[in-house]
Structure 1
Amino acid sequence: MNKNEIKLSNGMEMPRLGMGTWFLGEKKQKDDQETAALRAGIDAGIRLIDTAEMYGDGKSEQLIGRAIKGYDRSRLFLVSKVYPHNAGRRKIFKSVQQTLKNLQTDYLDLYLLHWRGAVPLEETVECMEQLVKEGKIRSWGVSNFDTDDMRELLSVPNGDHCVVDQVLYHLGLRGVEYDLLPWLEEHQIPLMAYCPLAQAGDLQKDLLKSSTVKEIAKIHNITPMQVLLAFVLYQPNVIAIPRSGKAEHVLQNWNARKIRLTDVEYGLLDKAFPAPKQKTYLDIV
Structure 2
Amino acid sequence: MNMVNFKGQAVLPIGLGTWHMGDEPQHRATEIAALRSGIQTGTELGTLAIDTAEMYGEGRSETLVGEAIQPVERQKLYLISKVYPWNASEDLLPKSLDASLNRLGVDYLDLYLLHWTGNIPLAETVLAMQRAQKAGKIRHWGVSNFDTSDMQELWQVPDGDQCVTNEVLYNLGSRGIEYDLVPWLQAHQLPVIAYSPVAQGDSLGNDLTADPLLNEIAAAHHVSVFQLLLAWVIRNGETLAIPQSSSADHVQNNLAAAKLELTADEWQLIQAKYPTPTRKQPLDVL
Structure 2 length-normalised TM: 0.95
1:56-67 paired onto structure 2 within 5 Å: 56-67=57-68
* Post-superposition offset of 1:202: 10
Q: Secondary structure at the match of 2:30?
A: helix
Residues 203 and 51 of structure 1, relative CA distance in 2, 3 Å threshold: farther
Which residue of structure 1 lines up, in the alignment, with residue 53 of structure 2? 52
Which residue of structure 2 lines up, in the alignment, with residue 13 of structure 1? 10
Q: Does 1:22 align with 2:19?
A: yes
Which residue of structure 2 lines up, in the alignment, with residue 139 of structure 1? 140
* Post-superposition offset of 1:275: 2.6
CA distance, structure 1, for counterparts of residue 171 and residue 282 of structure 2: 15
* Post-superposition offset of 1:205: 6.8
How many aligned positions are there? 282
Residues 209 and 203 of structure 1, relative CA distance in 2, 3 Å threshold: farther
8 Å Cα contact 2:174-2:203 kept in structure 1: no
Q: Secondary structure at the match of 1:139?
A: strand
Q: Secondary structure at the match of 1:222?
A: coil
Residues 199 and 27 of structure 1, relative CA distance in 2, 3 Å threshold: farther
Give the residue type in structure 2 aligned to 1:7.
Answer: N
CA distance, structure 1, for counterparts of residue 94 and residue 123 of structure 2: 16
* Post-superposition offset of 1:254: 0.3
8 Å Cα contact 2:200-2:208 kept in structure 1: no
8 Å Cα contact 2:173-2:201 kept in structure 1: no
Q: Flag as ranges the 4+ runs of structure 1 deviating above 3 A.
A: 199-205
8 Å Cα contact 1:84-1:119 kept in structure 2: yes
Query: What do the CA deviations read for 1:186-220 (whole angstroms, capped 9, x no partner)?
Result: 11000110000016999887100001110110111
**Unmatched 5+ residue regions in structure 2?**
none
Residues 203 and 43 of structure 1, relative CA distance in 2, 3 Å threshold: farther
1:206-245 paired onto structure 2 within 5 Å: 206-245=207-246
* Post-superposition offset of 1:262: 2.1
Structure 1 length-normalised TM: 0.95
Q: Identical aligned pairs, as a percentage?
A: 49
CA distance, structure 2, for counterparts of residue 171 and residue 129 of structure 1: 35
**Unmatched 5+ residue regions in structure 1?**
none
Which residue of structure 2 lines up, in the alignment, with residue 40 of structure 1? 37
8 Å Cα contact 1:196-1:232 kept in structure 2: yes
Q: Does 1:251 align with 2:224?
A: no
Give the residue type in structure 1 aligned to 2:209.
Answer: L
8 Å Cα contact 1:198-1:204 kept in structure 2: no
Residues 30 and 199 of structure 1, relative CA distance in 2, 3 Å threshold: farther
Give the residue type in structure 2 aligned to 1:74.
Answer: Q
8 Å Cα contact 1:175-1:279 kept in structure 2: yes
Q: Does 1:194 align with 2:191?
A: no
**Which deviates more from structure 2 when the two are superposed, residues 94-103 or residues 267-276?**
267-276
* Post-superposition offset of 1:14: 3.0
CA distance, structure 2, for counterparts of residue 274 and residue 182 of structure 1: 16
Give the residue type in structure 2 aligned to 1:153.
Answer: L
CA distance, structure 1, for counterparts of residue 250 and residue 202 of structure 2: 18
8 Å Cα contact 1:106-1:136 kept in structure 2: yes
Q: Does 1:94 align with 2:92?
A: no
CA distance, structure 1, for counterparts of residue 90 and residue 32 of structure 2: 34
Which residue of structure 2 lines up, in the alignment, with residue 129 of structure 1? 130
Q: Secondary structure at the match of 1:277?
A: coil
CA distance, structure 2, for counterparts of residue 12 and residue 220 of structure 1: 31
